[in-house]
Structure 1
Amino acid sequence: MILKVFISIACLAVLTYAQTTNFVDKDSKLVGFAEPQWFKDNIPFVEVPDRQIEEVFYYRFTSHKRHMHYSGAGVGYTVTEFVHKVFWSQKFDTINAAAGHHIYESRWLRNPKYTEDYINFWSREGGAGNQQYSEWIANAAYANFLVTGNKDFILSQQEGLVNNFNGWNDRYEPTLDMYFLSPHDDAMEHSASSEQTDDPYHGGLGYRPSFNSEMYANAIAISKIARLNNDTRTAEEFEERAAKIRKGVLDYLWDDERTFFYHMFRENNTNNELLDTREEIGLFPWRFGVPDPEDPKYARAWEHLFDPQGFNSTYGPTTCEQRSPWFDGNQTAMCCFWNGNSWPYSTGHVINSLAAQIRNYGTTNVVNINTFLEVLHKYAETQFKDGKPYVAECHSPYRKLWVCDSRNGSEHYAHSTYVDNVLGDLLGIIPQADNTFLISPLIPSNGSKYNTTPGMKIYLNGELVGSQPALGEMSITIPPPIVDESYARKKVENYAANLNGFDYPMPDASFTSIHATVWQAVDGRVIYDHIPSNRWTSFDSPNDVDWFSVDFGPGRVKTIDQVTIHVYSDAALGNDVDCPERVTIEVLSASGSWEQAQNQSSTPSVCVPSDILTIHFDPVKTQKVRISFHRNVQENLWAGMTEVEIWAPWPQVDEEGTYEAEDGYLINAAITASDTASGGSYVGQIEADDAIVEFTGVWVEEAKEYDVQVYYSNGVQQEATLNLSINNVKTQVATFPPTINGWGQFDQNTYVVLRIPLLRGNNAIIFKHGDNLVELDKIRVLV
């Protein structure tokens, strides 16, 4: 629910969305942050007496923001794992291994667009049964719904989430009712369960407590979504599938004598023997509710977390128990050993599980609030480097050293949770499907920071609505969810973004420093750091004024009224890039000359380093924008930006339901100007085997089949085809008869009608290379 809520818990911890409570000085928490207003607008604020837990809490919002990647008009935001593209990443530089972690972190942001764009990506554009690594995306999507209360959105995601789930069917073993996977495909290379095979990197195919618990959680989430959708058949199917998976895990992966969940090899293992080594993944099942709460035997597993020969280490938990012959706690290789190092990816899971043990199963001789706090503190303490909060890939269990920490690659690695561990586990905010607010904190019962009465207090929109004299579970009734207007047909999108690094929108500049590129200023990433580097600057330019331009593409004339610059500055580091003295905007006129945009003003009126500067002007139609940076000559400083954005209404069309091909996501296809094309240009040369024309953000209010008109040109007297994918779920072949008009010529009467099933919300209609050649102008969805 998007609410202004303030919670005072035993005078120790505070969470606030409220503008009328003043327990937390927000400015003091954001000292040194780039774009501080964004954090004021989007994040909850906390105070806890453990300085390191609090410092890392705010830092992890900054690291998460670095990875919120604007991926194009109609797509919106995705979340990356690495700050820069890696060769094994998928569409829009995404990797699904930590997508569940990303969603759990993002769900606490006030603006739900970031998370809903990302969930929609995985259920439609980026899912499609593309099972790169194990995932718990359906579980996380439902967890996001519990925070936002956006029922229409989560219901619209059901089909895609089911499709993702079924994409794992070829890894299912029906005789055991479990899924099998290699440690590598569980995103854990060189683990104890692969090191003892002939292939330590890719080997070890088997049944894993991590992956099967995630699939159980996905099945439970889909069943709950189906219940909300009044889809009894699907709900019952996935309830049954979940029950079978859970039984398989409990029957086959638990060892009564060694009191733990283990990996079980699939091959050459006729007796279903379990691994000889405990791995940290054996603690994952609790966060998803897999162990039987009526059977106390499972609680003994937690003894190994606190055992110094088990997983307990200075910067642990370790990923492999230390008594194992496969354990190596002295790895110095940059990648990718899961047989000893401390990986935040797993620690986030374990803290979720530890909190679930206390709340849902009960305390034990080793598990209680104090030991929970010890583990959380150790996790926070691990996330420092050179005295400042920091997270990379993996950490030494014994030394204050980030082991997997490649320069310009691993910084601020987005592969784990922490914010969710503080808000959901420590403070105990447990989102509900109805209009209630439930909290069950895991904190000690003493403390006097705020000098108020003991116990718990909850403020809703500035008013005290609930209190109790002692710590413990507490629930209040809250208003219904506020409708999310950001996820709707009418959008404002960024026309400058280009994720491909080639073609259009095309950046250019009068001068570019050898330490920067023009493409990094339009790649959808906002990263103000010196390292990792992601910027354009004019450093060392001989000019007093340098320009940076964005060309939308041949014939792509758009109506715009602002340009947003994310100002890069390294002057505080003693370097030479800082705010320009002045910024002006020019637009390309219809006659081909550059003209000053009219009535320019800026917000703020004076440039602030490492922050947003927006230049406003009268609405104007143009194909090309030029930004002039008047540098600070007196102090010999040059200009720079980490990103430029041009936000404007999208799509810009005359008829409702119309989408231009040139506005889509293109791979190996060319935009060409044409006076007869509806938007001034079209997309052709769709001839490479991997050529794609993707109509993004195709919005409908209701899930059903629609007639879709596809306007095209086929100048050869032969029938042509394109392969069509709808949301990466449904596929069909689109046939295009020859047209009377020649190539590059279009009219309003030349189209084919395709019957296409669409889902509520944003859809991706993807045309891929087929037989012969077709040129695409636009589509129109008939509602």
Structure 2
Amino acid sequence: MNFKLKRIVFSYIIVVAVSLAGLFQGNLYATGKQKDKSILKVDDFKHFVDYFNRMEDENLSFAIPNAEAWDWMKANIPLFECPQDNFEEIYYYRWWTYRKHIKETPKGWGITEFLVDRPYADKYNLIACAIGHHIMEGRWLHNPEYIQQYAHVWYRGNEGKPMNKLHKFSSWTPYALLQAYYVNSDKDYLVDMFPDLTADYKLWEKERRNANGLFWQNDVKDGMEEQISGGRHERNERPTINSYMFGNAEALAEIAELDGDQATSKLYAAKADTLKELIDANLWDPEDQFFETVKEKGGFAKVREQIGFIPWYFNIPTTEQSVAWKQINDNNGFSAPFGLTTAERRHPDFRSNGCCKCEWDGAIWPFATAQTLTGLANLLNDYKQDVVTDSTYFRQMELYVESQYHRGRPYVGEYLDEVTGYWLKGDQERSRYYNHSTFNDLMITGLVGLRPRADEVLEVNPLVPAGKWDWFCLDKVLYHGKMVTIVWDKTGEKYGKGKGLYLMVDGKEVARRADLGKLTGKL
């Protein structure tokens, strides 16, 4: 029996054992094969995978080939159903494509960005730029080993030391690992990683921190080359790396507290507080009412770019700064027919660098879309503001879904034209299945509204506007070691369990309300 088949068989052995015991704890994972407790039937969604498998050639195959894709998905993913077919299709497509990027390495599981080899990648064709996205998306897989071993490879895969190109790109990895802990509750793993994460943070401080306390970065090493504000060699103070380092410091403070190390927790909390003050004082342009890049030579770059929304990914801004979000509904700002542009459309240098050399001067990049929509969900959940509503979030998710097609088939690539929706590298093999963004994390935490947290409160706040969908269901979500189901049934006729929004834990209802809105229950 080969390794891949062994993994699948082992998964199902665990499923049966755990189901019989009635427990979902520690690092055990399961498909939730408790038919009497599940709302959705898993085989009702197999047709998506059958279509994906036959719609085009299998260009490259790694740990889980197309032929094993459905078995892997049954064992690992939450199920989702809604009345809008394209949302469903892209949901399952993105899990199908994520699976393509899982690789076996001598050091554990790896997750790639490109399927084809890239000359600037590290060992095993791994690239550090999208580690945060890979972890945020992969935290919903029932098997936590994929993202946990992936982090081990990056931090310990070079003879016990970090990979050589871990610092080729800035990232928010400690923050993402903490967010994964909010899902899987694996405290021991997080505490074990703490020395690696703190050593890495200190290295970033040594390499990239200016005398004023802010961090600098070249746009290319943010994975965002040829921006209007930047340059491949300019050492600018950017909203990207400074927001990442704030989020990482906050995460390290919380991890230290989990380990009972109060002194280190206070140290990193102070680092986060200082960065928050510096970001507010130095990167917020009061004239443009936006977070902007500060040039190496001094002064704002005087261009609103989508990276100015990243501070909300980490809940850095004040309520008053919510005014920046007016720009996503402005056709002269970031609003375009196929989604959110990476620079404001009114700027004279918008799309000025030409086409197809990875320019971030206006075209739509899923990497940035995912960051912005995560920030927007935080804004709608954590801030009292009247600038945008759940209708804005839903419409942008709708555009995100609509953009993920190429020549009539599901597709995710590098970047696309904001007006035509044409994928600018869509006919290049390197671009196919580009694993450089999240989508299903946005569906789970934003649209359906499961808000992960460390305690035993199950919090849900769907961002589906009233009257948009009469029903939806997210089922088989392995969360804090329990199987969670979230159901909206306006009339009660779809699922036959009564009207309203309700939450179930291991098949038992724990909370209900009559309409769409925030709902909490006890795990």
Q: TM-score, normalised by structure 1?
A: 0.55
Alpha-carbon distance in structure 1 between the residues aligned to 2:326 and 2:32:
36
Which residue is equivalent to 1:57?
Answer: 91
Q: Identify unmatched segments of 5+ residues in structure 1.
A: 5-14, 195-199, 479-783
1:305 is paired with a residue whose SS is: helix
Instruction: Give the greater-gyration-radius structure (CA).
Output: 1
Instruction: String of CA shifts for 1:342-367, please: whole Å, max 9, x gaps.
Output: 000000000001111111113424x1
Give the 3 Å change call, closer, same or farther, for CA 22–156 of structure 1 in structure 2.
closer
Is residue 2:500 matched to residue 1:464? no
Give the 3 Å change call, closer, same or farther, for CA 18–358 of structure 1 in structure 2.
farther
Which residue is equivalent to 1:425?
Answer: 446
Aligned residues, how many? 450
Instruction: String of CA shifts for 1:310-329, please: whole Å, max 9, x gaps.
Output: 11111121111111121117
Give the 3 Å change call, closer, same or farther, for CA 174–385 of structure 1 in structure 2.
closer
In the alignment, which of 376, 394, 404 is matched to residue 383 of structure 1?
404
Instruction: String of CA shifts for 1:551-605, please: whole Å, max 9, x gaps.
Output: xxxxxxxxxxxxxxxxxxxxxxxxxxxxxxxxxxxxxxxxxxxxxxxxxxxxxxx
Does the 8 Å contact 1:331/1:403 carry over to 2? no
In the alignment, which of 333, 339, 359 is matched to residue 337 of structure 1?
359
Which amino acid is the alignment partner of residue 57 of structure 1?
A: Y
1:86 is paired with a residue whose SS is: coil
Which residue is equivalent to 2:377?
Answer: 355
The 5 A counterparts of 1:489-528 are none
Is residue 2:218 matched to residue 1:182? yes
Which residue is equivalent to 1:20?
Answer: 36
Does the 8 Å contact 2:226/2:353 carry over to 1? no
Alpha-carbon distance in structure 1 between the residues aligned to 2:392 and 2:442:
15
1:395 is paired with a residue whose SS is: coil
Alpha-carbon distance in structure 2 between the residues aligned to 1:419 and 1:389:
15
Alpha-carbon distance in structure 1 between the residues aligned to 2:242 and 2:167:
14
Which amino acid is the alignment partner of residue 435 of structure 1?
A: E
CA deviation after TM superposition for structure 1 residue 22, in Å: 5.2
Which amino acid is the alignment partner of residue 408 of structure 1?
A: E
Which amino acid is the alignment partner of residue 99 of structure 2?
A: K
CA deviation after TM superposition for structure 1 residue 76, in Å: 1.8
Which residue is equivalent to 2:304?
Answer: 278
Which residue is equivalent to 1:79?
Answer: 111
Return the structure number with greater relative CO, CA threshold 8 A, min gap 6.
2
Is residue 2:436 matched to residue 1:436? no
Which amino acid is the alignment partner of residue 408 of structure 2?
A: G
CA deviation after TM superposition for structure 1 residue 18, in Å: 5.7
Which residue is equivalent to 1:689?
Answer: none
Instruction: String of CA shifts for 1:34-71, please: whole Å, max 9, x gaps.
Output: 43121111100111223222211110001100001111
Alpha-carbon distance in structure 1 between the residues aligned to 2:352 and 2:372:
19
Which residue is equivalent to 2:103?
Answer: 69
Is residue 2:255 matched to residue 1:225? yes
Give the 3 Å change call, closer, same or farther, for CA 17–286 of structure 1 in structure 2.
farther
The 5 A counterparts of 1:362-401 are 362-365=384-387, 367-401=388-422
Q: Identify unmatched segments of 5+ residues in structure 2.
A: 1-14, 20-30, 54-65, 472-488, 493-497
Which residue is equivalent to 2:482?
Answer: none
In the alignment, which of 308, 322, 340 is matched to residue 299 of structure 1?
322
Q: What is the RMSD of the two structures over their aligned residues, measured on CA atoms?
A: 2.1
Is residue 2:514 matched to residue 1:473? no
1:102 is paired with a residue whose SS is: helix
Which amino acid is the alignment partner of residue 183 of structure 1?
A: D
% identical aligned pairs: 28
Give the 3 Å change call, closer, same or farther, for CA 376–312 of structure 1 in structure 2.
same
Does the 8 Å contact 1:223/1:239 carry over to 2? yes
Q: TM-score, normalised by structure 2?
A: 0.82
Does the 8 Å contact 2:353/2:359 carry over to 1? no
In the alignment, which of 418, 426, 432 is matched to residue 405 of structure 1?
426
Alpha-carbon distance in structure 2 between the residues aligned to 1:470 and 1:455:
6
1:138 is paired with a residue whose SS is: helix
CA deviation after TM superposition for structure 1 residue 442, in Å: 1.1
Give the 3 Å change call, closer, same or farther, for CA 370–16 of structure 1 in structure 2.
farther
Instruction: String of CA shifts for 1:632-677, please: whole Å, max 9, x gaps.
Output: xxxxxxxxxxxxxxxxxxxxxxxxxxxxxxxxxxxxxxxxxxxxxx
Does the 8 Å contact 1:96/1:132 carry over to 2? yes
In the alignment, which of 229, 235, 254 is matched to residue 265 of structure 2?
235
Does the 8 Å contact 1:86/1:93 carry over to 2? yes
2:455 is paired with a residue whose SS is: coil
Which residue is equivalent to 1:133?
Answer: 169
CA deviation after TM superposition for structure 1 residue 213, in Å: 0.5
Which residue is equivalent to 1:697?
Answer: none
In the alignment, which of 79, 86, 99 is matched to residue 131 of structure 2?
99
Which amino acid is the alignment partner of residue 51 of structure 1?
A: D
2:511 is paired with a residue whose SS is: strand
**Structure number having the greater strand percentage:** 1
CA deviation after TM superposition for structure 1 residue 158, in Å: 0.2
Does the 8 Å contact 1:19/1:462 carry over to 2? no
Which residue is equivalent to 1:454?
Answer: 499
Which amino acid is the alignment partner of residue 508 of structure 2?
A: E
Alpha-carbon distance in structure 1 between the residues aligned to 2:318 and 2:217:
24
Give the 3 Å change call, closer, same or farther, for CA 19–85 of structure 1 in structure 2.
farther
Alpha-carbon distance in structure 1 between the residues aligned to 2:229 and 2:313:
22
Which amino acid is the alignment partner of residue 389 of structure 1?
A: P
2:340 is paired with a residue whose SS is: coil
1:141 is paired with a residue whose SS is: helix
Alpha-carbon distance in structure 1 between the residues aligned to 2:257 and 2:209:
27
